[in-house]
Structure formats: structure tokens, C-alpha cells
């Protein structure tokens, strides 16, 4: 039976709290249930961004500011529950970046890890530490922390991609550094495809130091990914919650390709409906192919090619698709697993 507090005791407690507040102390018992919750609590909410709508605004931004002026011409995908924080989830950032024909997004580097998932265009490029890679729709490109990188578009059409960064994680640790490069485009010192040849063919240079937590392969082409998914489809082995879902890896270790951001590609066959699933990693999804509906915590989001949506932590999620669908996704699962925090659950909520 709960004990009642007398008026005298309540007054004494308030006076006590006031006195210790002057010494920068506060009673844990007053906030314990709020800071150590029984289940994850977050202001992050399910949301979908229609690509057609976002693209219109992005192209308008292209008329208002150059890539050089902006340094990075990006529209942030800001979660409605986290407005003013530049976050798509509590731990991750996402945005859509535009590089117009003839433009260069100047070279710089920073502490944050970044991914590029190509949404529109063909033949633009990203350069990372002296190597350029051409970019095609569906490619997953890595920018490791503290590596100089620039983006260019020498084609006749716009290049647009989804940026994903661990900005909130780095900010939490107060570990952000950044600097520009003296040139808009860094010198190219390696031929295109060099990293893929050295590290992406199930081989490594004989004396290579493989201790880096970041994959030395910085472009994972969609053509190869899609071919792998299609080959595995023949086995007809579908996970009830994920369909056919694969994770991108660092060939040095077999672990995730990036140290703070986990990346995935999954195939959902025509007519497939997933079983309910939830996990502690809030996840951003980008639609590569197909149409479908995702339900997150009772919120229904109908999506098509190039649309982007987010599922918060520990919310039940199901996908159902009208035709073959391919989804790219990223989350902080790799960081949570390293810290012993990640948890998943399959099945229907009680």
C-alpha cells in the first residue's frame, strides 16, 4: 500500500530540493522513471517524404543557390517529431542533395561518417581520398570519417542522392571537427574502380592492414546488389518479417560497412506481406523499386519508387507490396550492437 506524505514532509522535501539545487544537485527519485524507462520512448514519429514533392523544392533550391555557395545543397529530411534538430531519427541525419550539370560540391572533410544512396541521375561522381567513383541509381557510396570528399556532375542531367550521416551521434560525444580543402576538387590519384578491385573481389592486398572499422570499398554498385538478390530469390527462402534482406559489409571484418550506420537492401516479392516486427534501431527506408504500404505503429504509409520513410524505435512495422519491391535502409543498429543495446521482437503486439 502506498504511503501518504504529510503536508509537513512535503514542505520539508521542497525546501530540501531547493537547497541542493543551489549546489547543482538533484534527487534521482524524482526523475528515475523518466530517465530509465520500461520501454524505449522517443519523440521520433513515422513519416513519409514523397520524392516528387521533395524534388520540386530541391530543383527550386537549385535556382536560388549554387552548390559552391551552399557547400552542400541539401534539403534536410527532418522528422516532424524532432523539428529544429536536423534529425530524421534521434541518432541520425538524412537529406536529399542536388548537384546540377556542370557543378561541383567543393571538397571538405569532417568527423562524421556519411553515406550516399543514389536516387536520380547517371554518371555524376564522388571523389574520396583521391579516387573518383561514378554514381548510378541504387548505388550505395561511403564517405569514411575525416576523408576529403567532393561531388561533381559533368553530365547534362541533375544528380540527386540521399545523404545519411551520424551527425547526432558525433554531436552527442562533442567530437565534431571539419575543414575545407584548398581546391574545389581534390587531386585524383587513383583510377576509377581501384578500391573495388583491391577490396571488393574477395581478395585483399597481401600486406593490407585490415584494422579499419570502415569498409575500404566505398561504392557498392546496385547492379551487383540486385543481381545477388535475384539469384537468392531462386531458393524461395523468405524471412517472414524481412522477405530477403541483406546487410552491406566491410570485407576486412565481415561486420557492417560503417562503424556507426548499418545499411541494408531487401527484396519483397509481389504480393508479400511481412509479419509484425520491431527493433530498437529507428530505420530510414528508401524505395528503389516497386509499390507498397508500410504500417508503423498504426500509421499507414503508401509508397512508390524514390519515396523515403522512417520507422521509429520499438514500433511495430509491417510491409505489404503490390509488385516486386526493393528497399534500401539504414539505421544505428551497428552502434547499438557494439554497446550491447540492440533488441528485436517478432510477432504480434499483445
Residue 72: name the closest of 88, 58, 53 by CA.
58
pLDDT number for residue 350: 45
- With a cut of 50, say whether residue 3 has pLDDT above it: yes
Q: Is residue 265 part of a domain?
A: yes
Distance CA 214, CA 226 (A): 23
Q: Is residue 88 part of a domain?
A: yes
- With a cut of 90, say whether residue 307 has pLDDT above it: yes
CATH number (domain holding residue 158):
2.60.120.10
Q: Is residue 2 part of a domain?
A: no
- With a cut of 50, say whether residue 1 has pLDDT above it: no
Q: Is residue 41 part of a domain?
A: no
Average pLDDT over residues 114-138: 97
Largest Cα span, the chain = 78
pLDDT digits 0-9 by tens, 269-292 = 999 999 999 999 999 999 999 999
- With a cut of 90, say whether residue 106 has pLDDT above it: yes
pLDDT digits 0-9 by tens, 194-252 = 999 989 988 888 888 877 889 999 999 999 999 999 999 999 999 999 999 999 999 98
Sorting pLDDT into bands at 50, 70 and 90, what band is 323? very high
Strand order in the sheet with 122-128: 131-136, 122-128, 149-152, 104-110, 178-180
Q: Is residue 29 part of a domain?
A: no
pLDDT number for residue 58: 98
Q: Any alpha helices (H) in 176-221, and if so which ranges? A: 194-199
Q: Is residue 42 part of a domain?
A: no
Average pLDDT over residues 125-137: 96
pLDDT number for residue 208: 85
Task: Name the domain count of the chain.
Answer: 1
Range(s) of the domain holding residue 119? 47-175+186-346
The pTM of this model reads: 0.95
Sorting pLDDT into bands at 50, 70 and 90, what band is 5? confident
Q: Is residue 38 part of a domain?
A: no
Beta bridge partners of 58: none
CA distance to 29, 287, 349, per residue, from 99 (Å): 53, 21, 44
Distance CA 114, CA 257 (A): 11
Helix (H) or strand (E) holding 268: strand 262-268
Looking from the CA of 202 toward its CB, the CA atoms found within 13 Å total 0
Count of CB atoms situated within 10 Å of the CB of 233: 15
Q: Is residue 322 part of a domain?
A: yes
Amino acid at each position: 500500500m502506498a504511503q501518504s506524505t504529510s503536508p509537513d514532509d512535503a514542505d520539508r522535501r521542497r525546501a530540501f530540493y531547493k537547497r541542493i539545487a543551489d549546489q547543482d544537485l538533484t534527487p534521482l527519485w524524482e526523475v528515475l522513471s523518466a530517465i530509465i524507462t520500461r520501454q524505449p520512448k522517443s519523440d521520433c514519429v513515422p513519416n513519409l517524404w514523397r520524392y516528387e514533392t521533395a524534388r520540386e523544392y530541391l530543383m527550386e533550391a537549385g535556382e536560388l543557390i549554387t552548390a559552391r555557395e551552399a557547400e552542400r545543397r541539401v534539403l534536410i529530411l527532418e522528422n516532424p517529431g524532432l523539428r529544429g534538430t536536423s534529425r530524421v531519427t534521434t541518432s541520425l541525419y538524412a537529406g536529399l542533395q542536388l548537384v546540377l550539370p556542370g557543378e561541383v560540391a567543393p571538397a571538405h572533410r569532417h568527423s562524421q561518417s556519411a553515406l550516399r544512396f543514389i536516387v536520380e541521375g547517371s554518371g555524376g561522381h564522388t571523389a574520396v581520398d583521391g579516387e573518383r567513383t561514378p554514381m548510378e541509381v541504387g548505388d550505395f557510396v561511403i564517405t569514411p570519417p575525416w576523408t576529403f570528399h567532393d561531388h561533381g556532375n559533368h553530365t547534362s542531367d541533375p544528380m540527386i542522392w540521399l545523404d545519411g550521416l551520424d551527425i547526432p551521434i558525433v554531436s552527442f560525444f562533442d567530437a565534431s571537427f571539419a575543414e575545407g580543402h584548398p581546391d574545389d576538387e581534390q587531386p585524383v590519384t587513383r583510377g576509377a574502380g581501384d578500391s573495388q578491385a583491391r577490396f571488393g573481389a574477395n581478395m585483399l592486398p597481401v600486406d593490407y592492414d585490415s584494422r579499419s572499422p570502415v569498409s575500404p570499398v566505398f561504392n557498392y554498385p546496385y547492379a551487383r546488389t540486385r543481381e545477388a538478390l535475384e539469384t537468392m530469390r531462386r531458393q524461395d527462402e523468405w524471412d517472414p518479417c524481412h522477405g530477403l534482406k541483406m546487410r552491406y559489409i566491410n570485407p576486412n571484418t565481415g561486420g557492417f560497412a560503417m562503424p556507426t550506420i548499418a545499411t541494408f537492401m531487401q527484396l519483397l516479392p509481389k504480393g508479400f506481406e511481412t509479419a509484425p516486427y520491431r527493433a530498437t534501431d529507428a530505420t530510414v527506408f528508401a524505395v528503389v523499386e516497386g509499390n507498397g504500404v508500410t504500417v508503423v505503429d498504426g500509421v499507414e504509409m503508401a509508397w512508390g519508387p524514390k519515396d523515403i520513410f522512417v520507422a521509429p524505435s520499438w514500433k511495430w512495422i509491417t510491409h505489404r507490396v503490390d509488385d516486386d519491391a526493393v528497399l534500401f535502409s539504414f539505421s544505428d543498429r551497428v552502434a547499438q550492437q557494439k554497446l550491447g543495446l540492440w533488441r528485436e521482437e517478432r510477432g504480434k503486439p499483445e
